[in-house]
A and B are shown apart, each in its own frame.
Chain A
C-alpha cells in the first residue's frame, strides 16, 4: 500500500518538519504547564504526608522531609483519646445518613421526573430553594426543637433522623439523572400492567444505578465532611463527635505537634480519596449532571 505521496522517513519537506516541530513545542508547553499545575495540586498532600512521619522534634523545624520515618505516629493518633470513637461515629453518621437519603429521595425524584401533576414545577423550585439554603439559616428553631423538645443534643440523631425525609441535593441530582431515562421504558412497563411502585423498582432503578451511586457518594462525603452539624448538636459530648469535628480539637490538644495533627489529617482524608479512586466515574458524572443542564 505504499504510494508515491507517502512521506519518506527522515526526508520530510521543510514545511512538514516545521509543523511537526511546532506540534512538539506545543506538546512540551502544554505538558510543562500540566506538570506545574499538578505540583500545585499535589504538593500540599505530599508535605502533609511527609510532616506526618517526622519525629516530634523535627516537626518543629522547617525541614521538608523526615530524617527518620515515624510510622508509629499513626499508631499514636489511633491511641489518642476518642479517635476511634470519632471514626466510628463518622461511619455511623455517613453510613446511616446515606442509606436513609437514598431510600427516601428516590421516590421523590422519580415523581418529579416522570409524573405529571399540578405543582410539579413549584415543587422542583422548592427543592432547589432547599438545596441552596445554608443550614445556619434555620439552625435556631431546629436546635431548639432537637435540644429542648426532643432532648437529643449531645447525640448525632438530630443529624441522622432528618435524612429519612429526603435530601434536596440528592433529589435534584437523581431527578436530573432520571430525566435521561427515556419515558418509553416507563410507559411500556405501565402498559404491561406494572404498578408505579413496581415500575420504579423493576424498570427504573436498574437503569438508574449510576445516578444512585453518585448520590450515595456525594451524601456519604457530605456527612463525612460535615462540620457544622456535629458542632451544633454533638459538641457538648465528646463521645458523639465525628472525625471532622474532632480533628480540629486534635490540633488544639496537641498544640504544636504538627506531625500528629498531620497524621490525623491524613487519616481523615484517606477514606474519601480511597473511595474516590474506586468510584471515579460515578463522581465525575454527578458533578457534570448537577452542573450543566442535563
Chain B
C-alpha cells in the first residue's frame, strides 16, 4: 500500500516536473539539439539550398581550415578583440565602477549617465559612432585636428576599424560598471581600515585588498567578454556596411569585413557563407567552430564554485 502511493506520488511529481519544464523541453529539442545535429550533418555535405545535398566527407572541413582565405583573418580578428577590446572594457569598467563608489554628490545622476550608453540599441549606437568618427565631418576628427593630432580614418582604415569598434564597446560598459560596483561595495570595510593603519598606499590597498576580493567578478567579466568577442556581430557588420557606403536592404550582396576583412568575425563569416555564397556546408563548419569555442569558454564559467550557477545546489 505504502509503496504503491509512494510510487504514484513519484510518478505524479515526475509528471508535474515535465509539465512545468515542457515549454523549454520542446524549445531545447527544436531550437538547440535538432539544429546542432543538423548543422553537423550539413558540415559533411555540399548543399546550396536548391540542389539536393550530396555527401562530401571532410571536404568542407579541409576547405575552411586550409583553403578558405577568410577563415584565419576572422580568427585573428577574434583574437584581437578578445585581447584588446575585452581588456579595455574590463579595465575601464572597473575604473568607472570604482569612481562611482567614490562619488558622494549626485551619485544617482552620474550612475544613470554612465549606464545609459549600454542601453543604446546596437544598430543605432553603431550608426552614431560611424557619424562621430567619420573622417570628413565627424566631431572627433575635427577636435583631433584642432589640437594637432593626426586624425585616423577609423571605420574606413583597416588598421583603425577595430580600435574604432573598441571605442564604441568601451562607451557601453554600463553592465560592467554595475556588477563591479556591486562587488566593490561588498568588500569588507575593515580590510581597508586595517590596510590604512598599516600605512598601505592607495595602490597597495587596491592591489592587496580590492583586487583579491573582486577577482571572481573580474574573471567573470573577462570570460563573458571573450564569449562576447567571439560572437561579435551586429556592430562590425553595421559599421562596415555603413562606412563602406553599401546600400542596406533587400537583395544586396554584401561581403562583411570592410575594410579588408579587418572587422570580419566568425558569425559574420557564417552569414556570408550561408546567405550570400549559399555554401551551407562551409557555413556549418564555421558554425561548429564557433559553437566549440563558445561552449569551451562557457564551461569555464560554470566550473568555478560561486560562479554563474553557484547557489541553490
Contact = CB atoms under 8 A, between A and B. Distances in A.
Given A42-B113, A115-B20, A136 B287 contact: yes
B264 interface: no
Given A171-B24, A269-B124, A140 B99 contact: no
A105 B298 contact: no
B234 A228 contact: yes
Contacts of B115: 284
Interface in A107-145: 107-108, 110-113, 115, 117, 121, 123-130, 132-134, 136-145
Interface residues of A, number: 100
B171 A133 contact: no
A269 B121 contact: yes
Nearest to B289: A137
Contact of A265 (B26, B27, B128, B182): B128
A41 B117 contact: yes
A262 to B, nearest CB: 6
* Residue with the greatest number of chain B CB neighbours at <10 A, chosen from A44, A125, A224, A238: A44
Given A121-B313, A284-B178, A143 B274 contact: yes
A51 interface: yes
Contact of A140 (B104, B175, B283): B283
B148 interface: no
Contact of A248 (B242, B290, B301): B242
B206 interface: no
A268 B129 CA distance: 15
Nearest to B274: A140
Interface in A272-286: 272-273, 276-277, 280, 284
Interface in A29-48: 30-31, 33-34, 37-38, 40-42, 44-45, 47-48
A249 B137 CA distance: 21
B246 interface: yes
A276 to B, nearest CB: 5
Contacts of A78: none
B310 interface: yes
Contact of A129 (B105, B124, B287, B298): B298
A293 interface: yes
B301 to A, nearest CB: 8
B103 A248 contact: no
Nearest to A33: B99
Contacts of B137: 59-62, 258
Given A130-B28, A137-B291, A291-B220, A48 B131 contact: yes
A64 interface: yes
B114 interface: yes
A151 interface: no
Interface stretch (B35-43, B64-72, B156-164, B191-199): B35-43
Interface in B244-273: 245-251, 266-267, 270-271
A239 to B, nearest CB: 11
Interface in A238-267: 238, 244-245, 247-253, 255, 258, 261-262, 265
B128 A41 contact: no
A183 B199 CA distance: 46
Interface stretch (A2-10, A12-20, A66-74, A162-170): A162-170
Given A138-B39, A238-B250, A292-B182, A280 B112 contact: yes
A276 B250 contact: no
A142 B271 CA distance: 13
Contact of A132 (B123, B128, B294): B294
A250 to B, nearest CB: 8
A156 B301 CA distance: 33
Contacts of A171: 24
Contact of A294 (B267, B280, B311): B311
B24 A248 contact: no
A285 B164 CA distance: 31
Contacts of A165: 23-24, 26-27, 30-31
A45 B116 contact: yes
Interface of B: 13-14, 16-17, 19-21, 23-24, 26-28, 30-32, 34-36, 38-39, 42, 49, 96, 99-100, 102-105, 110, 112-117, 119-125, 127-132, 137, 139, 142, 171, 175, 178-179, 182-183, 217, 220, 227, 230-231, 233-234, 237-238, 241-242, 245-251, 266-267, 270-271, 274-275, 280, 283-284, 287-288, 290-291, 294-295, 297-298, 301-302, 306-313
Given A225-B234, A265-B124, 19 more contacts: A30-B99, A34-B103, A48-B132, A117-B14, A132-B227, A137-B270, A142-B35, A143-B274, A227-B233, A238-B250, A244-B123, A248-B238, A249-B247, A249-B248, A262-B131, A265-B128, A272-B120, A288-B178, A292-B220
